[in-house]
Amino acid sequence: MLPGDAVLPGDAVHPGDAVLPGDAVLPGDAVLPLPPARAGLRQVVVPGTGIWFVGFVVLLFFIPQLREHHAMIWLWTFLAGWVLGLIGLTIYGWQRRSARRGHRGASSMALDEQY
């Protein structure tokens, strides 16, 4: 399907098809739902927390230069990123444990994630 092509009755619109605002989409056309996007702990949070930690450790070797250029904020920024990542992982672990126990307030999405 090319941009600008009309969608006729009976044509299935697939997630990869380009349907622009000016295209004619008639009632009753089948529009297939997009698959859920999954980016979780393993793909985002754990590597991100690790990068903040590595950056903090590297900057520890450059403290005199950071002080000389009044750039100590970078050291504290990397420390804050690492600590906030650890706090997030801890909260996620609590949610996962609560969901396994069947607590009502726990997020059931935590059970879908694989470490």
Listed as ranges, residues in the chain with pLDDT below 70 are 1-31, 36-39, 109-115
Q: Show the tokens assigned to 85.
A: 């990542």
3-state helix, strand, coil in the chain (%, to 5): 50, 5, 45
Question: What pLDDT does 17 receive?
Answer: 60
Question: What pLDDT does 12 receive?
Answer: 57
